[in-house]
Amino acid sequence: MATESRKPYKARRVTVFVCLALLAPASVALYIYSRTYAKAWRIGARMTPAAFESIMGRAVPALIGMSVAAVLIAIISLLFQTMTQSRILTPSMIGFDSIFVGTQTLLVFAFGAGSRLFTDPYINYLLSAGAMVAISVLMYGFILRRNKNNIIFLLMFGLVLSGILGNGARYLQVIMDTNDFYQVQAATNVTVNNMNTSIIFLALPIMLVVIIAAMSRHRTYDVMSLGPDQARGLGVAYEREVNFNLVIIAVGMSVATALIGSLTFLGLLAVNISRELLKTHKHLPLFIASALLAALTLILGQGAVELLQGAVPVTAIINLVGCSYMFYLILRENRL
């Protein structure tokens, strides 16, 4: 009977993965078509082999950056929900976006828009990601004390820090030179369209290491999802695991935010839809499904936006849908 009861869930899992696998090449094809032949047709130009090769030289790195960043965001979002024991939380709540904006603003305010620290994409990226990781680790060190899992206090502190850094950055932007202000705005309004493709291959190894580190520990997360007391009873050093995985989350969110900008609700959407589709608590299938869903959502959305010449960036659409879905989750959790 137990084996028979598992069959519908296994069949559902296979169906979900087959559908996602079929959608993957379709989403890539749509994105490439929207960047090449569709754009040439709109302006009445002929797509020559040389023009196609030139466009693909820019489109392929962007496609790689979108795919890996989306996979990373989905995986660390699931990991963060496991650490916090909540389906309605996302790691962006710690304030990574505000740290990124504050770092860029401070670099320009202190050294000027012409400084190499700001203009060199590799140095700028390392400084931004390093600042986000350093501040996050300091937060964990001060707030997460031994044998205490103060995750909620960490989130509250992150929200307060986000407000302080955001308002401080706006104040510095108001009093700085006009040209410097526009340079900061261009650097902080990072989207899929204007991501710095030159740093993708610097960020790629870091993101892959984080993804592999998280996915290789999926059995530990299965035990941790049972709760702190049950996990300790089954031999998991719960507090040490929480601290270690929060560092992984900080590194992952830092490199993804510095590369592709704010995607606050992409992980929330992908993870919760995967939970609904698979109906399982096991992290390995949830990791895979969430990663595929996040990548498909971002690539399909970007392809559709470019095909329809939408003025609104795909990140804004994803965040709007994700925010609405979060309201639904909160109301549903309140009814249960």
Residue range 272-300, pLDDT digits in tens: 899 888 888 889 999 999 999 999 988 88
Amino acid, single-letter form, for residue 240: R
Compute the mean pLDDT over every residue in the chain, rounded to the nearest whole number. 81
* d(C-alpha 231, C-alpha 236), whole Å: 5
Domain with 218 in it:
2-335
In this model, does residue 120 exceed pLDDT 80?
yes
The CATH number for 151's domain is: 1.10.3470.10
Cβ atoms 79, 69 nearer than 8 A: no
Of residues 49, 23, 27, the one with CA closest to residue 36? 49
| Residue pLDDT, tens place only, 52-78 | 888 888 888 888 888 888 888 999 999
Buried b (16+ CB within 10 A) or exposed e, 214-239: bbebbebbbbbbeeeeebeeeebebb
**pTM: predicted TM-score of the whole model, two decimal places:** 0.84
Share of the chain above pLDDT 70, in %: 90
Question: Hey, which of 133-142, 238-247, 254-263 has the most confident mean pLDDT?
Answer: 238-247
Residue with tokens 């700028």: 124
**Number of domains into which the chain is organized:** 1
The whole-number pLDDT of residue 150 equals 65
